Amino acid sequence: MPGWRNMLHITPGYLGPNALPVPEMKKGVVPVGSNLEFGMNFYFEKGDPTQDISGKYYRSFADGKIAIELYGVIAENYAMSDSVRDERIARDFDGKGIAIGDLYFSTLIQLVKGRKFPDTMVRMVGRTASGGHLDAARHSDSPGYFFDFSFSKDYACRNEKMSFMPYASFGFYSWQTNDELNLQNDAFMYGVGADLKYSDWTWSNSISGYSGYKHERDQPMVYTFELNRKLKKNAIRLQYLYGIRDWKYQSIKLSYVINLKSK
């Protein structure tokens, strides 16, 4: 008789919000500089309200031709209802607890910039299996990776302080599962969005997602609104995420970005 681990569904629709989230879109350009970012995230879903603290380190090299990122959820607080716990076949008795998240490490490479062809960047990301509480169906306890290409074109407006930038991306996402016949799930990644910049403010709207092939709530799609405000030295970000398909959460994220001086 198979154990309980084999009964779990290692897909975004049957795990917590930080297990297999839709990756944040990139916009065709490797930003120059280095920074630390800390965020407080609030997820709203009937039967699974969740809060977490996240962190990210970013640094570019060679005048923005290449960059690295390290990011993940530092701690996640969750409180599942009995019905959600049972649907996910979780073994957490009361459905409540605190879990650490997976660690992601990525490399960004600028392929094209400042030419007639849209600015183009490639991103390659690995995900560790450091996320805890598989018994509570919070994380997948399995590694994964993804890569994607992103493109953008910046258009100046009559007002010199304002600009408009559409962007798009496509790529490939793969993660390990517990299915003995299909040990990994492969997905096509996609996204499209646009930025409106005015002075120190940036408004962003995008739709992104990925499509797994097992059809077990493994095709999440998310709408994201983001408001970014540059301060004198640092920056703040406010994001609202709305799960359109499979990933059913609504989320509010508030982040503070600390710009570091490059040596």
Give the 3-state secondary structure of residue 67. Answer: strand
**2 pLDDT tier (thresholds 50, 70, 90):** low
pLDDT at residue 181 in the model: 77
Q: How many separate domains does the chain show?
A: 1
Does residue 260 carry a pLDDT above 80? yes
Q: Is the pLDDT of residue 88 over 80?
A: yes
pLDDT, residue 93, reads 82
Q: How high is the pLDDT of residue 179?
A: 80
pLDDT of residue 178: 84
Higher-scoring residue by pLDDT: 92, 252 = 252
Are β-strands 96-99 and 221-230 bridged in parallel, bridged antiparallel, or unpaired? unpaired
What is the Cα–Cα distance from 67 to 49, expressed in whole angstroms?
34
Q: 3-class SS at 20? A: coil
CATH of residue 199: 2.40.160.40
pLDDT, average across residues 91-99: 89
Global confidence as pTM = 0.93
The most confident of the ranges 96-100, 134-138, 160-164, 170-174 is 170-174
Write out the H or E segment, with its range, that includes residue 228: strand 221-230
Residue 4: band (very low, low, confident or very high) from pLDDT cuts 50, 70, 90: low
Name the more confident of 5 and 74: 74
- Bigger pLDDT: 7 or 116? 116
Identify the top-confidence range among 5-14, 162-171, 180-189.
162-171
Q: What is the mean pLDDT of residues 230-242?
A: 96
Rounded to the nearest integer, the mean pLDDT of the chain is 93
Residues of the chain above pLDDT 90, percent = 77
Domain housing 47: 4-260
The dihedrals phi and psi of 134, each to the nearest 5 degrees, come to -60, -35
- pLDDT tens-digit readout, 181-231: 778 999 999 999 999 999 999 999 999 999 999 999 999 999 999 999 999
CB atoms within 10 A of CB 27: 23
Q: Percentage of residues in the chain with pLDDT exceeding 70?
A: 97
SS3 state at 114 = coil
